[in-house]
Structure 1
Amino acid sequence: MKNIYLLAFITLTITSFAQQSATIKLTAEKLHGRVREWPYPVNGITVPTNAPALLWPATNGTNMVKSMETGSEVPEDPNIGNVRYQVMLATDKDFKNNLITSGLQSWAVYPLHQPLRAGRWYWKYGFALKGTNQWTWSPIYDFIVDAKHANEKVSPPVADVIKRNEGPHPNLWNMNKIGEEFYRNNLQNPEAQKLVKYAEKLMLDPLPVEKPRRIIDTVGKNPLEKKKIIEWMYHGFGDMVGTPIRNLVIAYQLTKDKRFILDAKRRAINILNMDPNGLTTRDDFNSGAVLENLSWFYDAGYDFLSPEEREKFKENITFRAKRIYNHLPNRFELHVSDNHVWQITLRNLAIGTVAVINEVPEAKEWLTYMYEVWSARFPVLGTTDGGWHEGNAYFVVNFRSNIYLSQLFGDFSGIDYFKLPWMQNTPMYMLYSHPPTSASTAIGDMWENIPKINKGEAGYLEALSYRIDNPYLNWYVDEIKKTFPQYFTGTDDFLLFRLLNNNPNRKLISTSPEKLPKTRKFADIGLVAMHEDLSNADKTLSSYLTSNPFGSSGHGHASQNAFTINYKGTVLFGGTGYYSNFSDRHNLLDYRTSRAYNTILADSLGQKIGEEGYGWIARAISGKHIQYALGDASNAYGDIKSEFWLDRFKQIDLEPNKANGFGESGVTLYRRHMLQLTGGYIILYDELEAKKPVKWTTQFHTPYATIEAQKTENPNQQNFIVKTNLGNVSTNVFASAPLNIVVHDKFAETAVNWNNVNDADGKIKDFKLQWHAGITSEPKQKFRYLTIIQVKDGKTEIIKTISNNNGLFQLQIGDWEIKTQLDAEKPAGLQVLNKTLKSLFSYGNLSINFQGKNYVPKIKDSSLLLEMKDSKLDKQEAIDELPDVANYDKN
């Protein structure tokens, strides 16, 4: 099989720190494929577990399976269901010693549910068309298991999981085993009592009818817009008619009062009689919601159904479950994240499967597949750092599935999925990326819909606190409850989870994050968060640098090396534009692109949309007065190559050409250093190179404020202020060659709310104009920018130029001294010193004198932070560190 993934980087020598190179260069076309394109694990890597999941590219029998996802206009490969696979694993190349052989399967993942002995292992996979015995085998791959993982618990084989499902109804949530305990444990629970009262009122509501939830005029809209508008008119119908059934079932399990289960039956039969192919319940979200809630009742109300009624329920559940499942094997498990499935329909199918597993023979296959994919792939858009690559707004859409599938698969496997490193780190990701009373990172689809913590985030965090023992998480939830008490009233999506995990005697320890490091790196999803005061982010300065190994996949954006600055709980500099649809003109020409972010354009061209347009966070340091991050977006630029995204452009008759801001600009280097300094200062230092001279444009966007250019006498410097009621904000941009500034309040493509998107209050959102500044160089093959942003309550400082010696600038701003080499033909260098605060940062080959002593970094071109803490020197030196995907998942 052709290896299409190449990763070349400078190997770091672990035996001699002094011989290491500080800089790593990645040359891979992508770090994550939209679908899996190379096997894992290979090339003798040492895996971070004793039971890795074996992954490989899928085939239709002739070619590799390409990108297809739920809801896409790209047609599904008709031959993906005609293949079966087998895996062999052994401690020798001849596959004779310690041989493990899989059964035949229709999907391209094989999680090992047994601990492997330490040492080298060899593996291969084969495939054959169904009905034949002609097998094609892959090359032999190898990996190493470290002895330190020997005693780690592994997930049980699927046969054990299925066996644990063999019991009478109700199977869901282990109610056939814990039902009485659940009932007694919640007798005095105020939340349970509140739900019961709510269910009393719910029984008085009329039965829903099949009709649109909202009416939107489609006159004058193009065919694609009409299709999306019709979908939106019925969006949420399945949850609207199904959620009452779930709540009535829970009320019955809390009280044993038959009135609730009988009314749930009445409502379930009502939607059972709705046309599964009708507009109201045929799309994946609505049909999945109906499937889930019919299954809730069927499982809990089984004894209240006649044999004829049971058959009718089974028939409808099976029909809707097959409609989901039949499009999954040999496709879904390969996808970087088939969003609709991971977000919602996998949960719908899992609940439906468990409800009928002992009556519908195919259900055991469905459960097997889901359990294997869950074991191999969760969490799909993160690794261990707790982050979610698409940003916080679309992370919200995954919360229910993350919680309930972890509970469900944990019930049947005995594995506590809340103890996964990713789960344990998620509260810290949420805390640093979206503090309790502040704004978020302002990246990804729909980020503008979460100006503050929303109800979904609040509920998710509270749910996590029931299974994750983290005092900072408890503080986080407490703070949200103080500010947004309305989020914690009535019923919500996580109520059952809290009831299942209710411990009347639990005592939570809450600890303020004031003593946590001010900076935290989330390398897997490419984010560094820097805070002046994490415990009071709504009153202070926070900043973020993003450079994402996933690229702009899914709901992510082409925002590599983009920065966000939040002040007093509001986004000051951040992404701009509006989400009205996944890929309309505004989305593809502005909102999703680099044009909308505080990053750099080359000849007015942005970064690639797709997994190929990736970046990564190379370094981060957390200090007392200096916070530091380094992002690398050197691989982010060029022609769009993703077939999925090219098809999205084609659907609306757009060309991703240079006239529309896309194309090959020849960028070969873009490394952005970002520092947040005590006193309200942000420093950016950009190292830029291309194959030919290009005009470099550094961009600034203020979604909630106005930008006003300022006059300057120096052609190599441009200045502007931000007019905001938050305080005084000034920006000064320096270079070694003339610069031009353009300030405007227009989008590259007009934002039109043709889909009647609502705001948080349910009103149709007004897509207002927003302000932008672009500062552009003359054509240069190599170039550097120095940017100083001041964010103050009082007046901003005047920046004094102390000297300019052959491109080596020395500046003074307040108590901070800045030295930087802006001549791109000379070695890069940046140094920031505050003698009063006894803090120094240095990068490059500048001489270092701190507190009367000379210092030399251990490694050339490293990033060095020196700070005095009381009478002791705190010395931190950072060199490039690869994200896990580049360390482990390479070919």
Structure 2
Amino acid sequence: MRNNKDNINGFFGSTKMGFKGFFFISIGIFVFIGFILFGRGKTNKNSGAIEDPYQLEVVYPRYLDYPKPSSGMVALTNPPALKWPVEKGENIRYEARLSSDSILSNPEKILELKDSPWAIFNPHQKLGTGTWYWQFRKSGGEWSEIQHFRVADSVRSIVSPTAEQFLHALPLSHPRVLVTQADLAQIRHLDPNNDIRAILLNAEKALKTSIPEEREGQPLKKGKGEEQNKKLRLDASKELGTQVYESILALSEGYILSGKEEYAEKAIQIAFEVASWEPRGVSSINDFGDARCMLSMALVFDTFYDRLSETQKAGLLQSIKPRAAHFYSNWINNIEARVLSGHVWQHILHYFFQTGIAVYGAEPDATKWLAYAYELFLAKAPVLGGMDGGWAEGVSYFRMNMETMIDIPLYIKKFTGFDFINAHPWYENQVDWMIYHIPPGSASDGFADNSEEMDMPGTEYVAFALELAKLTNNSKASWYAKKCLEYEKADLSGHATLRWIRLTKTRDLPIPDPKPSLDLPTGRPFHDIGVVSMHSDISNTKENLMVAMRSSPFGSYGHMLSDQNVFNVLYGGKKLFYRTGYKVSMSDPHRTGWYQHTKSQNGILVNGMGQPYSTEAFGWIARFLHTDELAYAKGDASMAYKSKETGEDYSVLKNYRHLILLKPNLLLVYDELEAGNPVAWSWLIHSLDEMKINRENQTFSVQQENALGAGRIWASEKLLLHLQDTFDIDAVNWRGTLGEDGKLKSYENNQYHLKASTSKKSLKMRFFTIIQVGEDLNDTELSEGWSENGKVEIKIGNWTISANLDLETAPDLFVQNHVSETVFSSHGKMLRLQNQSYAGNYPGSSRLGVIDESGFPLFKEAKDQVPYEMQARMQYVQNNNR
């Protein structure tokens, strides 16, 4: 049935390119990520770029609403994927064309996409240095305005095969998914190891379990109201699909390894039971369950292909097709333009891709299924990450994306030779995000759903780091895995994540030797996703003070929370001052009214209200500086308190948060706030352990087994402190959710919440807080600080600190170490270092002076910058507002 490929040319359109006549820009091209001039509403007359991010209503709307790349931005990869807003409707088709010819008039210089049902165009060939022009249109309609972008010599080259080439490379024989026919004999004769033993043990268990029935997809209990009942139906449907998938996967893997006939017979029985179910019935209510049923049948079709009669194959295809077709029809002209589509990327795209591989050649529609999945992955991966690493939905939900991000590229590499993993910079930078935001032996940074449940990285992160190490020869990744194992026992073989990939695809790759120690900077920002983390001793978790802040261009949506410019503090890997609450379910009143709300975070409330739950409520990490003994970050959440989508606007004009980590044990938090109307401001801090306060000197403290954390708050207005140990909305485990230990989750209402609120409303506000942490802490130094004429001064250890709270004068946070001579100013104060004065090049910049290892003065400065996606949108808005 290879002749399905004969239809591919008509499906993909034609591609033509002539390289003769290319012209090249003679001047150097660089990515202007966006240093912003101080003051709003300014425009750089030379570049035409907006230099005011406050004119943006959103950075990542739910659906792409402008063509990318455009407006003369330097592309991040060569070639870039071209994307544009979708036009809703039935049977929509698109065309696109790309050329170095500015008027796209020379057919010999045009790359074309024709008759595409999705709004993405991967050129699949390297573009010449210079400016490129492109257009798109709905087939038969008018062409869009000509867009343009630039290709620099230094940009990362990611040249992938075409979808047609990928499909032609798929083997004719079966199996293809879990293993190829060519590799089957070698896999079956591997020497037994822990992975093989674990897989065979699971196969034996599956052999003894009963065959699931469709009626088991109905919930066994009722909730209170339709919302709870809907979620219980989703849970039951997912559980049914998961049961089917885990059984068939275990039996199929067991059969591949052992050839045991009983495994094949049982897997086939389960598959035909699922094939008898109504494809759009209870097993499809939950999209995870639906996809797992689909893939389960596809695995049986592929793994046991030679054992099945033609009638049996047709029966499985008849049941696989409506499920796969449902995903495809819902995704095309949709998912490629959606910024956030969590379930698709968590597992389902991977399942869909594997299903397409399994039935390709037997099911004609698999051509378009696979082509879409292939092009979508290449155009958007990593969908919630950035060039600099990270994952916007946090450390907990990233676990659900690990196999998708590893396995799809490995299929592509196996069949075509193209190595996406080593081509894309996200993979090499991802380990830095893990090190800084879920360090070995430590709880996580606390951002996004369920991250509070992770007290250590766990088996999945160890497994993922080891795969990164092997696939990218990254010794830092192997260091991370080894360091994690010093703190926890990771049962790699006992956990399914990446196990089969490790056994069948990467088993012969060497793990690079980890270095004995790493020279890790004090802090690391991830501007693309909007997080930063700072550590006093990241290689020594037991004595490490960690502070992490989120201020993200992604805003709040999906599994992200309303937490722009919020921070979490950990010491010794334990949560010290940390956000509170429980997820329960996405629409549960406790989640929506507390857990996802800013009131549960170490952030700022305005008139008692938090940030809208919206992509329009965004922020960014505007500045970052560091030395060996100090790390500084500025978050800008000025746009985080309004959203047209939700109809909220709390009049906030400015929300700057400055964080400084001073080694060994100090954290400084300096907030600049401003509103269009007088408002009441509240500064929040939380702890999972008992918090004590002293209202007279405005201090708070938490004593843990390993450390004491103590803080003191100053403000430009008089404060009223309120401490509570209950949630505004109770958390109830009405779903009967189990923890990773298999026990019923307990949602205890015994966490602590401090709110320091102004006694009167004001247009402007400044807060300054010092937090001191340590095992043997002398917190009396906190009480010795003094405030006069709006200026706070305090000396702690070798550090002298001053903060200006006087609203009539310019803000500044000034720090000096009288032993090492390190000196810092947040707002442009002239620095003195070894009898030399340093004024900096930019008014109002943050400035840092240190004495380097050679004894010479070193001066650094930082002014506000915006990440690439913000700069791209600012440029587009500017070009279209002329």
TM-score (norm 1): 0.88
> In 1, Cα distance between the equivalents of 2:483 and 2:746?
31
> Residues 24, 675 of structure 1: CA spacing in aligned structure 2 closer, same or farther, 3 A cutoff?
farther
Instruction: Determine the C-alpha separation between the residues in 2 that align with 1:218 and 1:201.
Output: 31
In structure 1, give the amino acid aligned to 2:598: S
| More displaced 10-residue stretch of structure 1: 210-219 or 118-127 | 210-219
The Cα shift of 1:575 comes to 1.5
Partner of 1:89: 98
**Residues 233-263 of structure 1, C-alpha deviation per residue, up to 9 Å, x if partnerless?**
3433212222232233223333445454344
**In structure 1, the residue corresponding to 2:649 is in which secondary structure?**
coil
Q: Using the alignment, how far apart are the partners of 1:167 and 1:681 within structure 2?
A: 63
The structure 2 residue matched to 1:641, chosen from 644, 665, 684, is 644
Cα contact 1:458–1:477 (8 A) shared by 2: yes
Counterpart AA for 2:84 = W
Which of 680, 683, 693 pairs up with 1:709? 693
Q: 1:686 to 1:505 in 2, by over 3 A?
A: closer
1:40 aligns with 2:68: yes
What is the CA–CA distance in structure 2 between the aligned matches of 1:218 and 1:803, rounded to whole Å? Answer: 59
Report 1:593-672 matches (<5 A): 593-638=597-642, 640-642=643-645, 663-672=648-657
**Cα drift, residue 105 of structure 1:** 0.9
Q: How big is the shift at 1:32?
A: 0.7
State the AA in 2 paired with 1:695. Answer: A
What's 1:327 paired with?
330
Are 1:438 and 1:537, in contact at CA under 8 Å, matched by a contact in 2?
yes
Q: Indicate conservation of the 8 Å contact 1:672/1:687, yes or no.
A: yes
1-side partners of 2:495 and 2:771: how far apart? 45
Distance 1:705 1:798 in 2: 23
1:801 deviation in Å?
5.8
The match for 1:693 is 678
1:415 paired to 2:418: yes
- For 2:394, the equivalent position in structure 1 comes to 391
Match in the other structure for 2:169: 164
Q: Is the 8 A contact 1:540 1:568 kept in 2?
A: yes
Query: Which of 495, 506, 511 in structure 1 is aligned with 2:515?
Result: 511
What amino acid is the match of 1:31? V
Alignment partners' CA distance in 2, 1:728 and 1:189: 46
For residues 393-430 of structure 1, the C-alpha deviation after alignment (integer angstroms, 9 at most, x for no partner) is: 11122222222222223334432122211111111111
Give the 3 Å change call, closer, same or farther, for CA 318–137 of structure 1 in structure 2. same
1:727 paired to 2:707: yes
Tell me the amino acid that sits aligned with residue 822 of structure 2.
Answer: S
Tell me the CA shift for residue 201 of structure 1.
5.1
1:299/1:255 CA distance change after superposition, 3 Å: same
What per-residue deviation string (whole Å, max 9, x for no partner) do you get for residues 12-70 of structure 1? 9xxx9xx9x9x96442111111111111111111212221111111112xxxxxxxxxx
Which piece of structure 1 moves more, 371-380 or 879-888?
Answer: 879-888
Mapping for residues 248-327 of structure 1, pairs under 5 Å: 248-280=251-283, 282-327=285-330
Shift in CA distance, 556/299, structure 1 to aligned 2, threshold 3 Å: same
Amino acid at match of 1:729: G
Q: How far 1:558 sits from its partner (Å)? A: 0.9
Q: 1:840 to 1:9 in 2, by over 3 A?
A: closer
Alpha-carbon shift at residue 465 of structure 1 (Å): 3.0
Greater shift after overlay, 140-149 or 324-333? Answer: 140-149
Q: Is the 1:802–1:812 Cα contact (8 Å) retained in structure 2? A: yes
8 Å Cα contact 1:237/1:281 also seen in 2: no
8 A Cα contact 2:248 2:267, kept in partner: yes
Residue number in structure 2 paired with 1:433:
437
Please report how far the alpha carbon of residue 793 of structure 1 lies from its aligned counterpart in structure 2 after TM superposition.
Answer: 1.3
Alpha-carbon RMSD across the aligned residues, in angstroms, is 2.6
Question: TM-score, normalised on structure 2?
Answer: 0.89
Amino acid at match of 1:742: H
Query: 1:842: Cα distance to partner?
Result: 1.5
Cα drift, residue 286 of structure 1 = 0.9
* Cα separation, 2, equivalents of 1:52 and 1:429: 24
Matched position secondary structure for 2:529:
coil
| 1:152 is aligned to 2:157 | yes
Query: Does the CA-based 8 Å contact 1:213-1:233 persist in structure 2?
Result: yes
Q: Which runs of 5+ in 1 are unaligned?
A: 1-6, 61-78, 647-655, 657-662
- Does the C-alpha gap of structure 1 residues 429 and 108 become closer, same or farther in structure 2, counting only changes over 3 Å? same
Pair 1:281–1:39, CA change in 2 (3 A): closer
Q: Does 1:833 align with 2:816?
A: yes
Aligned to 1:737: 717
CA distance in 2 between counterparts of 1:212 and 1:206 reads 12
Post-superposition CA distance 1:758-786 (Å, at most 9, x none): 22222222222211111112322122111
Tell me: CA distance 1:632–1:612, structure 2 relative to 1, closer, same or farther (3 Å): same
Number of the residue aligned with 1:678: 663
Paired amino acid for 1:465: A
Written as runs of structure 1 = structure 2, the 5 A alignment for 1:523-602 is 523-602=527-606
Instruction: Give the length in aligned residue pairs.
Output: 827
Q: State the Cα deviation string for residues 429-468 of structure 1 (Å, max 9, x = none).
A: 1111001211101121112221222333333333333313
User: What residue is the counterpart of 1:49 in the other structure?
Assistant: 77
Q: Note if 1:121 corresponds to 2:102.
A: no
Q: Which residue of 1 aligns with 2:25?
A: none
Aligned 8 A contact 1:559 1:599 in 2: yes
Quote how far apart the aligned CAs of 1:535 are.
Answer: 1.5
| Structure 1 residue 361: Cα displacement | 0.7
Query: What is the aligned counterpart of 2:756 among 775, 790, 810?
Result: 775
Query: Which structure 2 segments of 5+ residues have no match?
Result: 1-32, 39-43, 877-882
Residue 834 of structure 1 aligns with an amino acid whose one-letter code is N
**Alpha-carbon offset, residue 82 of structure 1:** 2.8
Q: Which residue of 1 aligns with 2:861?
A: 877
- Residue by residue, what CA displacement relative to the aligned partner does 1:177-218 show, whole Å, maximum 9, x if unpaired? 44344445x335553354335434543444334454896642
Query: 3-state DSSP class of the match of 1:467?
Result: helix
Contact 2:638 2:656 in 1 (8 A): yes
- 1:625 counterpart letter in structure 2: E
> Identity, % of aligned pairs?
29
Give the corresponding residue for 1:808.
Answer: 791
Question: Contact 1:437–1:480 at 8 Å: present in 2 too?
Answer: yes
Structure 1 distance, partners of 2:641, 2:566, is: 14
Matched residue type, 1:760 = E
Displacement over 6 Å in runs of 4+: none
What amino acid does structure 1 have at the position aligned with 2:170? N
Counterpart selection for 1:442 from 436, 439, 446: 446
